[in-house]
């Protein structure tokens, strides 16, 4: 897979997309992009701020797994099984509620990744976090970004995971591949990000987190389309 610049053409710091470049970019996020760890975060990544749920919120953590294949990096997603009580059948990142036994949100994300798809902590290097993300269903999600060393020996939990798939990172962070959609929810128009890929439809909170990742990997924050 051909590598493309991490920053827009003409930027003096432009360099090929690399694992270390991603780690540096997350560590040096532009001011105002990343929100405080204990903040409310953003609903659908700034598209529905007036529709955030009332407190209290349930804390959850997800792993945003960037797989460092030699031929090009990918991001690993799951499709949730249709019988789950929250976000059934949707594309998501490995993750779940922060449990009392978890030392912190990072520990919860790593635990859930192993339980849901069999990713071992030993092959994951956490390199940063995205904005805290609040869903209309009442979850405060802490997204942790991790570099995952292949090969992958995945063991999806059939109770929670219907499918596991990967999408090229360069496709996901390209603004041309994301779309602003809407639907009527409780008699109001609600906006959300969507990133179709082949026969997959990445949308809602997961797509919002991908947009946030894209913001952090480019020199300037991406703006919501008019």
- What is the per-residue pLDDT across 91-102, written as a single tens digit (0 to 9) for each? 999 999 999 999
pLDDT band at 224 (very low <50, low <70, confident <90, very high): very low
Is 177 a member of any domain? Answer: no
Helix axes 19-27, 204-217, angle to 10 degrees: 90
**Domain that residue 118 falls in:** 40-170
Q: How many CB atoms lie within 10 A of CB 160?
A: 18
DSSP labels, 80-134: E-TT-SSSTT-EE-SEEEPPTT-SSHHHHHHHHHHHHH---GGGEEEEEE---EE
Q: If residue 38 lies in a helix (H) or strand (E), which one and from where to where?
A: none
Beta bridge mates, 128: 145
Number of domains in the chain: 1
Domain with residue 94: its CATH number is 3.90.79.10
**Within a domain: residue 12?**
no
Instruction: Give mean pLDDT, residues 164-170.
Output: 95
Residues paired with 65 in a beta bridge: 146
pLDDT tens by residue, 54-106: 668 889 999 999 999 999 999 999 997 865 555 556 899 999 999 999 999 99
Residue 10 lies in a domain: no
The pLDDT value given to residue 29: 66
Residue 56 domain-assigned (yes or no): yes
Which of 177 and 6 is assigned the larger pLDDT?
177
197 lies in some domain: no
Does residue 63 lie within any of the structural domains? yes
pLDDT of residue 36: 46
Per-residue pLDDT of 143-163, as tens digits, reads 999 999 999 999 999 888 989
Confidence of residue 178 (pLDDT cuts 50, 70, 90): very high
What per-residue string of b and e applies to 13-44 under the rule 16 or more CB within 10 Å gives b? eeeebeeebbbebbeebeeeebeeeeebbbbb
Dihedral sign of CA atoms 87, 90, 93, 95 in order: positive
pTM, to two decimals: 0.82
175 lies in some domain? no
The pLDDT of residue 191 is 79
Beta strands 58-67 and 139-148: pairing type?
A: parallel
């Amino acid at each position: 897979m051909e590598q493309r610049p991490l920053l827009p053409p003409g930027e003096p710091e432009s360099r090929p997309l690399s694992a270390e470049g991603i780690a540096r970019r997350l560590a040096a996020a532009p001011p105002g992009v990343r929100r405080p760890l204990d903040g409310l975060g953003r609903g659908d990544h700034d598209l529905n701020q007036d529709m955030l749920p009332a407190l209290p919120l349930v804390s959850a953590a997800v792993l945003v797994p960037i797989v460092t294949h030699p031929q090009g990096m990918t991001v690993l997603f799951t499709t949730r099984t249709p019988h789950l009580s929250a976000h059934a059948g949707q594309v998501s990142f490995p993750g779940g509620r922060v449990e009392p036994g978890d030392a912190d949100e990072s520990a919860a994300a790593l635990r859930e990744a192993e339980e849901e798809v069999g990713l071992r902590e030993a092959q994951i290097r956490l390199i940063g976090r995205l904005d805290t993300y609040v869903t209309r269903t009442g979850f405060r999600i802490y997204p942790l970004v991790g570099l995952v060393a292949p090969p992958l020996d995945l063991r999806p939990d059939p109770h929670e995971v219907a499918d596991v798939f990967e999408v090229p990172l360069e496709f996901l962070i390209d603004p041309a591949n994301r779309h602003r959609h809407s639907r009527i929810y409780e008699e109001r128009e609600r906006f959300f990000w969507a990133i179709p890929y082949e026969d997959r439809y990445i949308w809602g909170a997961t797509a919002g987190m991908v947009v946030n990742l894209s913001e952090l990997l480019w020199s300037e924050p991406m703006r919501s389309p008019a």
